[in-house]
Structure 1
Amino acid sequence: MSAPPPNERTGRHGPTIRDVARIAGVSIGTASKALNSNGRLRQETRDKVTTVAREIGYRPNDMAQSLHRTRSMTVGVLSTDSFGRFTLPIFQALEEQFADRGIAIFMCNATDDPERERQHLDQLLGKRIDGLVVTARRADKRPPVGPLPAGLPVIYVFSQADDRDALCLLPDDEGGARLAVRHLGEVGKRRIAHITGPEHFEAVQLRRRGYLSALAELGLAAHPEFYLSGKWTEAWGRDAVAALFDGKTDRPDAIFCGNDLIARGVVDALRERGIAVPGEVAVAGFDNWDVMTAAARPPLTSVDMNLSALGHEAGRLLIEMIGGETVRGIRRLPCTLVVRESTSTST
């Protein structure tokens, strides 16, 4: 069997239905009927065509067959979240939304590599996907993906495109921070510190805004020395505790952390100093990452960004957009607070 010619768009070799028909010695129409299991053909002809397709690597449900449909019944997910920490809950929710509708999902991970993202996008577009979901490991603005075919529905989930016409679904970071700080006030804490990540992250800015807003609502003072920004790491949580407690008489009685990694380091550092959690100092985190919250001693109260809800909403909206609806703008979905022993002895 001779090798198929290069694909005109990508320059890569890939079998087409023309190759199948030529090698099998049948017309393109006959090959299509055989591969789609329709029309009246001899079984011998069907077997010959499907054997040729299998041997040359042609897949009838991939690019070529989708040309004969109004829709391909496929959706692409393009992610930069190499660990899957934020993308996997979104992906699982999308699968739940699409499964009953017979829509398949192709997921690609670009790991912050623009060239790899371009390659993955080419592959997804080559499959003639009906829609695209773009996710990331952080929700900061990024250039829009593209170029894309006109009219292709695209949703950014836990990601933002620097494009006013884009649709972006995000957790309400500011509202989540307010939930955590209000809770700390409700359990009797009055000197609430905030240890968080790098200030150039939008999430850091929004969570600090929520922290300050909740303090004002509670009638509590915002002590400038109680706000510390650094890295998204346990080590930074331990270092920040040293800055707040070692040799200090003016100490906080609660700490709201910008993520669960920081909070885990905070809890460990407090325990090493003999400071009781939550009796002397209550600690709350953000992300509700079960690997961190369950392993912390005591288990960690944390803000849940409800990533599954983001995924379900993305699936619902993408189906509407595939159906012809126009949806754009930034939508922030509410977070919830999961209370555990690090803030309340009654849980």
Structure 2
Amino acid sequence: MTDKTNIETGAERYPERATIRDVAARAGVSIGTASKALNDNGRLKQETRDKVIAAAQELGFRPNAMAQSLHRTKSMTVGILTTDSVGRFTFPIFEALEERLAEHGIAVFMCNATEDPAREKQHIDQLLGKRIDGLVVTARRMDRRPAIAVPGKTMPVIYVFSQTDDPDALCLVPDDYGGAVLGVEHLIAGGRKRIAHITGPERFEAVTLRQNGFADALSKAGLPQIGGFYRNGQWSEQSGREAVAELFDGEQTHPDALFCGNDQIARGATDALRERGLRVPQDVAVVGFDNWDVMALAARPPLTSVDMNLRALGRAAGERLIAMIAGERLKGVERLPCSLVVRQSSDPGNSKKTTEENQS
């Protein structure tokens, strides 16, 4: 074996890593033969192959990952580009995605663009420079964004909890319409007939889809949409409190249930109802959306909520990306089913149960 010097860093000393040249010398073969043996290719006697592998193990040799990727045209890495600096939605997706890819030996680089186009371009250039095998794009909200420009369109790109207008792109998002149907049908099954919908700004596609699901569930049950029972606002607890004031002031008909666009709105609404002396769920049942534990479990009472199943979304993204890296061509918008987690805000007899019936 060739003599080695040491690399010093502060008070510690680290030996240099063994190279393919060292392995070849230890095994008594050429560098080319050692490379073939370690990459399991070429015509070699099994005895020679075993000798090289044994030498590599003795020396603690670790192949250069980039050199191997150049040989097999795969880097075994993918990039994740997000605009969600808070991570409320993307972290569960990222965790499940990373777990799924790790099963195939694929590592992940994550970059946060914070909705800055210049920073996003810089991250994309850096990821492409690392020869990633694929790219996953996520966001804080699911509304459409410009498509990622990939040279030659040869590298797989998947949009998860994010969408683009590119007809050749693959987008994976929760089924907002189906989730709304689940929530409203649950309230109807509990005997509620005057259901109001409190939600976020109309400019979001999710708001439109959930409103459509709300309306269709009422129509299917033969229940009317009562005038004034649809309220747009912000994604905030304050918006929930303000909507309750508007819905319950005066002599007009009052709701016996609230279907809320997210858990923050629902928590604000339950606080406002309690301050008015109304019992939840006996007087007014409440269902939220997102199943965000920070909000849903801290509410009084704990919130029934539609779960977007973000980890399932991440696993599905991993599976689709693996298939695309292997050569499959996938495109279109896939809307994955939501589920309903039932707690005391709509059902005093159940501390927690989950139903996935009537998923779309």
TM-score w.r.t. the length of structure 2 is 0.80
CA drift of 1:286 comes to: 0.4
Task: Find out whether 1:288 has 2:291 as its counterpart.
Answer: yes
Q: Which secondary structure does the structure 2 equivalent of 1:225 belong to?
A: coil
Q: CA separation of 1:273/1:36 partners in 2, compared to 1, >3 Å: closer, same or farther? A: farther
Mapping of 1:20-59 within 5 angstroms? 39-41=23-25
Equivalent pairs counted in the alignment come to: 300
Q: Which residue of 2 aligns with 1:115?
A: 118
Matched, 1:177 2:180: yes
User: How do 1:1-347 residues align onto structure 2 when only pairs under 5 Å count?
Assistant: 39-41=23-25, 61=65, 66-347=69-350
- For the residue of structure 1 that corresponds to 2:111, the secondary structure is strand
Q: Which deviates more, 267-276 or 143-152?
A: 143-152
Q: Which runs of 5+ in 1 are unaligned?
A: 1-32, 43-58
Identity between Structure 1 and Structure 2 (%): 64
1:68 deviation in Å? 3.6
Shift of the 35–115 alpha-carbon distance from structure 1 to 2, 3 Å rule, reads: farther
Cross-structure match for 1:4: none
CA offset digits 1:193-235 (Å, max 9, x no partner): 0000000100000000000000001111101300000111111
Determine if contact 1:34/1:41 at 8 Å carries over to the other structure. no
In 2, the alpha carbon distance for the partners of 1:188 and 1:81 equals: 39
Instruction: State the distance in 2 between where 1:36 and 1:322 align.
Output: 29
The residue that corresponds to 2:54 in the other structure is none
Aligned-residue CA RMSD (Å): 2.0
Q: State the Cα distance separating 1:60 from its structure 2 match.
A: 5.2
For the residues of structure 1 that align with 2:185 and 2:65, how far apart are their CA atoms?
Answer: 53
Compared CA separation, residues 151 and 278, structure 1 to 2 (3 A) = same
**CA distances 1:146-183 after superposition (whole Å, capped 9, x unpaired):** 24453101110010011111000110000000000000
Report which stretch shifted further, 241-250 or 106-115: 241-250
| Amino acid in the other structure paired with 1:124 | L
The CA distance in 2 between the partners of 1:307 and 1:192, in whole Å, is 27
Q: Aligned equivalents of 2:243 and 2:21: distance in 1?
A: 66
User: Residue type matched to 1:95 in 2?
Assistant: E
Of stretches 299-308 and 64-73 in structure 1, the one that deviates more from structure 2 is 64-73
Separation of aligned partners in 1, 2:19 and 2:166: 42
TM-score by length of 1: 0.83
Letter in 1 for 2:83: T
Residues 57-83 of structure 1 show CA distances to partners (whole Å, capped at 9, x for unaligned) of xx9545x76434321000111101111
Structure 1 residues 151 and 241, CA gap change in structure 2 (3 angstroms): same
Q: Secondary structure at the match of 2:142?
A: coil
Counterpart code for 2:206: A
